[in-house]
Structure formats: C-alpha cells, structure tokens
Structure 1
Amino acid sequence: MAAPGTTKTAWKLQEIVAHASNVSALVLGKSSGRLLATGGEDCRVNLWSVNKPNCIMSLTGHTTPVESVCFNMSEEMIVAGSQSGSLRVWDLEAAKSIRTLTGHKANLCSLDFHPYGDFVASGSMDTNIKLWDVRRKGCVFRYKGHTEAIRCLRFSPDGKWLASAADDHTVKLWDLAAGKLMAQFPDHTGPVNVVEFHPNEYLLASGSADRSIRFWDLEKFQLVGCMEGEAVPVRSILFSSDGGCLFSAGRDSLRVYGWEPERCFDTVPVGWGKVSDLAVCNNQLIGVSCAQSNVSSYVVDLTRVKTTGTAAQSPLSPAIPITRTTPTGSSLRRIYERPSTTCSKPKRVSPVSDDEEKESRAEIQNTEDYNEIFQPKQAISRSPPRYTEPFPAPLEDGKIKLPPVAASTPIVCPEPQPAPTSPTNPSVISAARNEPIGLKAADFLPAIKGLPPSEVVDEEALSQIRKGHDTMCMVLTSRMKNLDLVRAVWSTGDIKTSMDSAVAINDLSVVVDLLNIINQKASMWKLDLCLAVLPQIEKLLQSKYESYLQTGCLSLKLILQRFLPLIMDTLASPAPVGVDISREERLTKCKMCYKQLRSLSLLVKSRAGQSGRHGSAFRELHLLMSALD
C-alpha cells in the first residue's frame, strides 16, 4: 500500500506578468507578507496581493524607470524612487499621491520608512543619504560618507539609528538625533547589498557580493560572526520574527543561520532564482523574484524547517567560522526601547497641488481587492492587512490524504454535496493546487458514450489527455525547424533578411521569438526593419495571446521612440534642389512607415480606454502616436 502524500516544504506559489516592460524594483510588505509592490521600466508602480492574479492599483507619475520601492510599517503608504533621483509618496487608503520629493542627482537605489515618524530615508548613486520629512515636504538632513552607490537602508526598530550598505564595501551606522556617523564596519571585501537589524537585540546583519554574511554587535561595535558558505552574492536576508535565526535566500536554496557560534541550522532547496525580498507570515516564509517582466512568488513552510539546535550536516552549506574574541554561546545584549505610544496610523498629509495631482495618479485596477485590503467595512482605523490563513501547500506525490479504513469495512462513495458558500467562508480553489480539489477528472472531460460521467476511470482520463500530445509535439517540432531556418539567415548578420524570412514562414510565433531578441538591443532597429515589422505588429496587437500582445506593444514603442521624429521631420522638410537619390529612398520609406503607423494608431486609440495592464500600455502608445494627428 502506498504511503499517504505529505506536504512539501517549499513550493512555487504564482507567476505573474507585472509590467509591460522589465521589472526593476520589487518589495513585500513586512507586516502582512501578503502585499507586493513592483516598479518597472515603464515608470509605473503596481500593487498586488500575493497569490492573486490581478493588479490592485497602478501608480503613475514618474517619468523615468522606478528603481526602488518601500512600504511603511502599516502598509498604508508607499514611496518609490526613480532613475532621475525623484521620490513620490502615495497614500494607499486615499488612493492618491501626497508628496513629490526631489534633490538627488542620480538613480535612487534604496529607500526605507521610519518605523514611527513620517520620515523617509533615501540612498542614491550620487553617494548621498537623505532624510525627508513627508509632512513638510523637505529634506531634514543629508548624510555624507560613502564613496559609491548606497544599496540598502534600514532604520533600527526603535527609530534612532539608520544603517546603510554601499558598493564601497562598507556598512555605516548613523545617529539620527545627532546627525552624525556612529560606527563604520569595513570588513566586507565586496559591495554590500543588504543590511537587517535584529528585531529585538542590538545586532546587525549584512550580506555582500563577497558571498558572506556578517553579524555586528551594536553595543561594542565589533564583528561577532561571519558565514562564508554562500554560493552566490548575498542579496536577501531576514531575521525570523522572534530573532532566533537568520534566513538567507540563495539562487537555489534557503539557508537558516545562527550566530555565536556561527552555524547553519538547515538548507532547503528552492528554485526561486535571484530573490529580491523576503517576508514571514503565519509560519511561512514568502520570497519574491523577477525575470524581465515576470514576477514569481515562493513559499517555505517554516514548521518543516530547522531553526534551532545544532548545525545541519550538509555539504551544500559549509560555514567557515572566524576567530572570535567573545565567549561562545548566546550573549545578552540590550533590547531596543520602542516609544511608549504606538503609531498605528500616520497623520494625514495635506494633498498635493493640482499640477502634481495631474502628474501622479493612483489608478485602482481591482476594486474588490482594493476595498478588501484598504477599505475594510466597519473599521475606523486599520491595522496591517488581516490575513489569517497560510498559503495552501501542494501535495508531494499529487495524492489526497485519506484516513485509514479497516479491511472489512466497505467503502461507500456518498453523493457529492455542494460546498457551503458564505461571505465569511467562500468556496475557493487555490491556484497552487496539484489536483482539482473536490472535483473529478470527469468534470473536465467530454462525456463518453455508454458511461455516466461519474464512471470515467484513470485510463480513460489519460487517453483523453494524450489525444492532444502528438499534435503539440508536431507544432513544437515545426516551430523548431522554422527557427533553425531563421537562425541560418541571422548568422549572416542581416537582420532585415532574417525578419523577412520569419514573415515568409507565416508562423507568428517565430516572428515573436525574433522580435523578443531584437527588442533587447535598440541599435538593431533600422528604417528597413520597421517596414517589415509594422504589418506584423498589427497582427500581434490583435492576438489573444498575452505574450504576443506584450511583444507587439514593446516593438511599437521602440519604433515610435526611435523613428517617429525622423519620419515626421523627413515628411515635413522641403524638397531639395537637384536629384538626391538617398533622400528619395528615405522619403519613400518614411511615407510607407507613416501610412502603416496611421493605420495602427486607430487600433491603439480604440484600445487605450481598456482597464488593466494592457490598457496602460495602449494609453502610453496613444500618447507617443499623438504626433501623427
């Protein structure tokens, strides 16, 4: 008899297309672990509820790519920093922008909200750290000392200190009240990517590109532990809620570390790639990573992870200790003294001016999710989003657990009863399931003659599934052959002829594959290539496939940004005296491109009013095409 299925320790929760272009910033709300904000090269900040497919809110106003985002402690406000060095602050409950702060001279790499006051810290590639008063819309203080870009900022739990990590291999600790440097930790041998305060004790952890994690005593300002077993640069670390261990997210695993003495408690394989942020909720660790425009979320069940005791004996997680001056064992340090009054709800900030309101907008994309999180009924003041249920785990062997049945007991299958539905306990089937829950295979298959649907057995179900397998294999084989033909032309270095060959094959998937390569390098685009691609873009913009639509929008955006000014200038310039063959050829190409763009503008205009992610992409294209009118 087969052993009953057991739940997994770690699993992929969801993958979403978060932006119309590459994702450049990604952060989780630390209080709930369920709210996610993404910043993109499309200059937008999008808000999501983890494990739900639809964007809750889209925040606009930045004119350059968003490079950093951060929630405040109550998850009622969010701040985003852009490539141009500006910050914008939004009130999520009021669904509007409240502040625009400018002053940095280069990319904003890091942000953090003060845990109690209405302050934001920002770190930039200009090597400066600035402390901003959100209410008064001004810079309170500037901290100078780093010589390269600041990659991470963290306020201490009591709000008195600010820790900064930078590409200059140092970690610095700043006293906010005195406005000066308290301590500097220069022991890392590579850029420092992340710092985290212990939730209770005077202890700081830092992770670096030198593949080490270091622990710093903030009473004696000295190194008390170092883990050098990481296989890749350290980018994401997080102390457990009780402060008993530190989680580190590598490319293929989660490692759980202790200190004094340094040891690795456990190593959990997780194929989450380059993790951008971590959070803990309901005994689950949530990790998020991005690849181009996609964002993936993962879950690790902490009840199945070793977080205390002796070090895990795993060859994947060697820990190389350092020479220590402090005694072995758990040392007693000072505990942070929080303010006696809590700050559950920040003071209301006066709204922005009319001009700023036009520039910065909070567009609610999903009213139901928005009201559930930010406008709960019968609530005067809101605590962080109330999520009481953990994410459901899939079963390792795909089998549903059944209670043991005595051998002499007949098994009776009762008629399925409809699940009760109520506002407090809705009937929901998780998107993370391995099998349909409470449903049979027959519910998804056409009825078989001679048998009632309830009698469809496994073999018949598999037979139905196999029917499309051969067809799919033939489609993929054909696509591979077509790509080989295009690649042969591509190897000659002629991009235009490569595109012509892809078009001639009459397989739109091959055109999409080729465009996805060309879109990565704008210098490949020429006017001849535009002529070949524009008719294909029209097909892509009308496709039912999301990836085709996304590729079409990006290609059209590149063409408009790179060639529309040239096309309009060429058409408007007076005819030269004499014969200019090259100009005549360029003029002919520009006229053809203009005609195709005019045709596309009607399609773009008709879809610019749509809601959601694609609606925003079409609105952006509509603005770029306004010069055609």
Structure 2
Amino acid sequence: MAVSVATKTAWKLQEITAHSSNVSSLVLGKSSGRLLATGGDDCRVNIWSVNKPNCIMSLTGHTTPIESLQINTNEELIVAGSQSGSIRVWDLEAAKILRTLLGHKANICSLDFHPFGSFVASGSLDTNIKLWDVRRKGCVFRYKGHTQAVRCLRFSPDGKWLASAADDHSVKLWDLAAGKIMFEFTGHTGPVNVVEFHPNEYLLASGSSDRTVRFWDLEKFQVVSCIEEEATPVRCVLFNPDGCCLYSGFQDSLRVYGWEPERCFDVVLVNWGKVADLSICNNQLIGVSFAQSTVSSFVVDLSRVTKSGSVLHGLIRDDKPLVQPTPAGSSLRRIYDRPSTSCSKPQSRVKHNSESERRSPSSEDDRDEKESKAEIQNPEDYKEIFQPKNSISRTPPRNNEPFPAPPEDEPVTVKEAVKPSQAVDVQTPLPKPEHSDPIQRPPIASSTPITRTEPSVIPAARNEPIGLKASDFLPAVKNQNQTELVDEEAMSQIRKGHETMCVVLTSRHKNLDTVRAVWSTGDIKNSVDSAVAINDLSVVVDLLNIVNQKASLWKLDLCTIVLPQIEKLLQSKYESYVQTGCTSLKLILQRFLPLITDILAAPPSVGVDITREERLHKCKLCYKQLKNISNIVKNKSGLSGRHGSAFRELHLLMAVLE
C-alpha cells in the first residue's frame, strides 16, 4: 500500500464564512464538482461556486436549522430538509421555491433526487422513508422498516431501487415499482453513515461508524468484501466515474479501495478534518468540511493517486501481489439498464417485514411557498452559472480548468469577501444572547421576506411562527397612523430584558476577572478550581472553551474537577453549554479513558507506592464520574440535530464503560 506525499497530492483550496451562525449541513453538486450548497442554524440555504469567495444565492423560508441537503443530477434543483421535518425544493435556474413537502415528524437526516423521474426520497429521525412526487407535492409512499434514524438514501442508477442506511446498523434495498423491501444487508456493528451505488455494476458500498467499508452484490444479495483496518468512522464515499475504485473520506485522510479482493490502493493525507462530502471535477477530487460557521474545501490530484493494482504499488502487507483489476469495459456482474422514461408509479402495496404505505397527495395551501424566497446575492456569478437554461455544464467553460495547486505547496486560505446579505428581509433577527434558549429562537428573518408581487407588510391573517408572536414586533399595518405605534411597540419589545441582561453580563465579567487573576500565575488546576467555586456555570464554560483548545493542558487532576461540571453542562438548556460539555468530555475520553481502564485493570502493586496509589484513587474517581455521565449520554443519544449526533459519538466512545 502506497502513502502519497500530502504536499504534492492534496491542498487546501478555500475557507469561507458560510453563515451567520453554525453550518449544519452541506452538499456538492456531483455533475460539475463546482457547485456547493450549505445549510445553517440560521435556517438559510446558501449556494456557492467552489473557489469563489461570494455567495451566489440565499434561500429563506425554513424556520428551523437545515439538517440535510441534496442537489439533483442536472444541478438545476436543490432540496433542503429541516430540523422540524419540513422539506423545500428550489429551482436554482428560476431562483424560486418549487415545492414545500410536509409530513415527517422529526429531523430530515437524508435526501436524494431520483436520477430522471420527478421524485425525491427523504429519510428522517422518525425512522420513516418517504417518496415524494415533486410535481404533485404529495407523498407517494412511506417505507417502514428501520428502527432508528435514516442517515443516507441513494437511488440506483437505473432509478428502480432505493438504498437506505441507518443508525440501526442496517442497509436496506427497496423496490420502488413494487413498493416493498427487496433485501436487508446486515453485518455492520455501528450506525451506517453512507451508501453509494456503483455507477455501472450491481454493486453497493456502505460506510459505517464501526470503521468498516462493506461491498454488497445486488444480484446474489451477499457481502462481496469488507475493509476493516481503519481507525476512524467512514464519513463519505464516492465511486470513481469509471467504477475502477472507491474513494472513502476519513478524519484527515482519503483512502482508495478495491473490492475483489478487498485492498487499499492508496492513502492520501489531507488536513480536512471531518470531511462531509466528495465530488470529482477534471480528474481532481473535491472534499468539503465544516466547523462552526466556516466551510473549507480541499483538492486531491487524482493523477497522483493509485487507483488500481500494479507492479509498483500492488503489494499487500504480507508481500503477496494483488490481483490485477478487471480490464475496463468488462464486468464481473450485471450492468444497469438506463431507461429514458421516468420512474414508473408504484403499484399495489405489498406486505413485508418492512412495510410500505401509499399516501395521498398533500392538500397543504401555498403559504409556505409564498413565504420562501431565493435572494440572488451575486447577479454576475448567478447569470454565469445558472443562465442560459439547459446549459450543458453547471460551470462556465473558462472555469473548467483544474484547480491549481498553491505555489511551493503552501496551503491557500481565501476568506469570504462578502457575507450573504440579510438586508432584504422585512425583519432582522434579534442578536441571540449567550443565555438564550435555542428552543425559543423565533424564526423571524427567514419566514417574512419581501416578495416582488406583494407589499412589504405581513398580512393580518398570517399564521404566527412558533415561539414569539409576530404581532409582538410588527402587527398588520392598515394605515399610516398605525405606523408610529408599530415602531413604539417594536422598540419596547427589544428593550425588554435589556437591564437584566446587563446585570448578568456585568456579574460574569467580574467573576472572569477573579479567575484571570489566578490564571496569570500559570496554575491551571487552581484556575479551574476558582471558576467552580464561583458557582456560575457560564464562567466554567468560558474557561473550558479556552482549555479545550490545548489538550496538553489536561491532567488527571483536572479531569476530577471538570467531570462533575460536565455532568451539569450536558443537562443544561443552553445550546452553547451542552456543546462545550460535549467537547470537553470527548477530549477526556480520547486522552484519558484508555489510561483509566488500564490502571484499574492492573494487578495490585507489591509494597507501598504512594504515587501509584494517588493515581489509582484519581482513576477510580474519574471512572465513577464517567459512569454517571454515561447514563446522561445514553439517554440523549436519541436526540435530533447536531447534539444528537455528538451524543451518539460520545456513547460509542463510552461503550467500554458498559
């Protein structure tokens, strides 16, 4: 197995501030590899051209964070699913909302467009899979069978099947025309994060948090091979367009696999962190990742990557030569037929262990569509990329050159020049204080945009958003005399709680000054002790946010003090507290849990060893605290959104405690 030199093969292309709050999802267009869509906690979907610093278009209308995104094959449509379970389909060329699809009861975790029919599939935390007819705005079928969140959906290249991967460790294959399950593939021992069909053959790949990639034969319905050697969960996979190999995205690396026999052709070290999606453009692989409000893109030069067995690279660790890959043009298994007609409508329902249900078209009114809007942020890029209609490539010809490597192999960072504008909205959201409850966040900005055909006034009959009432800020305006009253009421609402917040922040600042005085002595343990003694969790959070950035500051002593505080943070109603608690706990588990379990499992020492006894005492204390926290983590691992996935990751790390 060859390990490529990182500086020559892979480089960072760009880093942008994609949203005004945390990024919650993203997806690359697979046809061009140049189109990027990001979804945020700000309830917006932003459209970008890879390696350009400015947002092309911003899509508003969702009232909860965007949890899942997908772009169709032609890169003309995009579908976005939110935390509340609503789905919106947008036409990028016409810059308008196309459909709103309502029916799921929880987070939308996965979406996919049918390759040629007007259908969208959605998978949710409610364990259901739904097939939607976009033209009729109705749910055609509901597929039941998974027992946990459905994390990934993929239509087969011929449009006849749908593959689903879920947290229940299973991969299922559904027959769309018959409306029933064809087969359930079992073998993974952790949540399955991703599935991908081979572009030509009856072959399916799946990647899991159990750190394995499995290949399944879709004729014989059996496992072809399994790659088990990896050290981190599989985050995304992508077949090479000619089907010769599979690219798998891991933490800080790209791995290139063959499956008959299973082998790793190449490993490319890429500093992309937790890579979220992959695409290919001009023999370059594009990988994208996100952290907080930042999105980073990376390039791997595939001409420098080994994609098949050869004399030079074709040795496994025991020095046995690899079997040469099947010559291009031949296939070990059946090839997909690709009909030119659209997907046939599902026939009568067939009862099975995993059932599917027919659904009638939705009778929802068009209110959601009227309140959803596509704001073109960058007209020049928009015209260049999305006009004229029916363009062959989603990207302009002059941009079809490969992305150049940085000079002298230095990483390139391009900061975003213009942030997505929010000035066109009727209302701007109030700044969110540190102590605000995320559940009460009013979806003001995205739910009340101006439309070209309507006055910039909320109609009197408008339904009120969840949380704060719209009338608290902008009641319906009927005549000029009421305008002043509106402004007065709006200002009084904004002033509410201002004095209380000032008192809270002043007290916090004073407490932080106390902690900083101890911190300046260089004693980290005493600094944390003083923060805990103040009995203000916000101060503990502020200090942990600093300490979390440098793992070398942590010692066992610090763990014993911090773990009881983490227990409180994980149960907090404040989103930022939970996030900090999760970060600290993950750091402790990765750095100290192996040490704690090893010391507790070691036989008692002969004689008196005070240092060892102290260490043993600290380990016992930490172990007891971690056991308490593990119950909280287990209970919260079923939560929706980013926190749910964070708790599920922690639950896996804490499995050794059980």
TM-score (norm: length of structure 1)? 0.60
**Residues 298 and 205 (structure 1), Cα distance of their counterparts in 2 relative to 1, 3 Å cut:** same
In 1, the alpha carbon distance for the partners of 2:571 and 2:48 equals 31
Q: Using the alignment, how far apart are the partners of 1:257 and 1:108 within structure 2? A: 30
Q: What SS class does the counterpart of residue 80 from structure 1 fall into?
A: strand
2:497 aligned with 1:484: no
Q: Does the 8 A contact of 2:53 with 2:414 survive in 1? A: no
Conserved? CA contact 2:62–2:82, under 8 Å: yes
Q: Is the 8 A contact 2:36 2:50 kept in 1?
A: yes
Identify unmatched segments of 5+ residues in structure 2: 344-363, 416-514, 521-526, 544-565, 575-658
Q: What CA deviation, in whole Å up to 9, does each residue of 1:134-179 have, x standing for no partner? A: 0000001111111111000000011111000011111110111111
The code of the aligned residue for 1:385 comes to T
**Shift of residue 303, structure 1, vs aligned partner:** 0.5
Residue by residue over 1:23-47, the C-alpha shift from the partner in whole angstroms, topping out at 9 and shown as x without a partner, is 1111100011111111111111111
Partner of 1:55: 55
Report the 3-state secondary structure (helix = DSSP H, G, I; strand = E; otherwise coil) of the residue aligned with 1:8. Answer: helix
* Paired residues of 1:264 and 1:312 also in contact (CA < 8 A): no
Q: How far 1:384 moved relative to its partner?
A: 3.2
Q: Compare 167-176 and 490-499 and name the one that shifted more.
A: 490-499
Taking the TM superposition and a 5 Å limit, the aligned residue runs for 1:358-507 are: 358-376=370-388, 383-386=393-396, 387-396=399-408, 484=519, 490-495=531-536
Listed one character per residue, the Cα deviations across residues 469-510 of structure 1 (whole Å, up to 9, x for unaligned) are xxxxxxxxxxx98893587853433549969x99xxxxxxxx
Change in Cα spacing, 1:397 to 1:358, as seen in structure 2 (3 Å) is closer
> What's the CA shift for 1:6?
12
* Moved >4 Å (runs of 4+): 310-315, 327-331, 379-383, 430-433, 480-483, 485-489, 494-499, 520-525
Deviations for 1:312-361, whole angstroms, at most 9, x for unmatched residues? 8799x979x9xxxxx99746211111124699xxxxxxxx9763343211
Q: Secondary structure at the match of 2:214?
A: strand
The DSSP-based 3-state class of the residue aligned with 1:368 is helix
The CA distance in 2 between the partners of 1:103 and 1:273, in whole Å, is: 35
1:222 deviation in Å?
A: 0.8
Distance in structure 1 (CA, Å) of the matches to 2:395 and 2:188: 38
| CA–CA separation in structure 2 for the residues paired with 1:236 and 1:139 | 28
Consecutive unaligned residues of structure 1, counting only runs of 5 or more, are 322-326, 344-351, 400-429, 434-479, 503-516, 526-629
The 8 Å contact of residues 267 and 312 in structure 1, kept in 2 or not, is answered as: no
Higher relative contact order (CA 8 A, sep 6+): 2
Structure number, greater radius of gyration: 1
Partner of 2:181: 181
Counterpart residue type for residue 94 of structure 2: A
Distance 1:523-1:212 versus aligned 2 partners, 3 A rule: closer
When residues 82 and 342 of structure 1 are mapped into structure 2, their CA distance, relative to the original with a 3 A threshold, is: closer
Question: Is the aligned partner of 1:123 residue 2:158?
Answer: no
CA distance in 2, matches of 1:137, 1:49: 29
Distance apart, 1:7 and its partner CA: 7.4
Q: C-alpha displacement at 1:364, in angstroms?
A: 1.1
Find the aligned partners of 2:71 and 2:245 in 1 and give their Cα distance: 24
Q: Letter of the aligned partner of 2:58 in structure 1?
A: S
Worse overlay, 253-262 or 330-339:
330-339
The alignment of Structure 1 onto Structure 2 pairs a total of residues equal to 413
Aligned positions of 1:93-242 closer than 5 A: 93-242=93-242
Match of 2:297 in 1: 297
Q: Any idea what the Cα deviations from partners look like across 1:185-243, whole Å, max 9, x if unmatched?
A: 01111111100000011110000111000001111111111111211011111000111
Identity value in percent:
70
Distance 1:216 1:432, change over 3 A: same
Judge conservation of contact 2:122–2:129 (CA < 8 Å) in 1. Answer: yes
Residue matched to 1:609? none
The DSSP-based 3-state class of the residue aligned with 2:407 is coil
> After superposition, where does 1:28-47 map in structure 2 within 5 Å?
28-47=28-47
- Are residue 78 (structure 1) and residue 85 (structure 2) matched? no
- Aligned partners of 1:81, 1:21: CA distance in 2, in Å? 18
Alignment check: 8 A CA contact 1:489 1:497 kept: no
Is the 1:258–1:265 Cα contact (8 Å) retained in structure 2? Answer: yes
The CA RMSD over aligned residues, in Å, is 3.5
Query: Contact 1:261–1:329 at 8 Å: present in 2 too?
Result: no
**Residues 1:275 and 1:14: Cα distance change in structure 2 (over 3 Å):** same
Native 8 Å contact 2:26 2:276 kept in 1: yes
Deviations 1:37-65 (A, max 9, x none): 11111111111111111111111111111
Matched AA of 2:334: R
Q: Are 2:248 and 2:255, in contact at CA under 8 Å, matched by a contact in 1?
A: yes
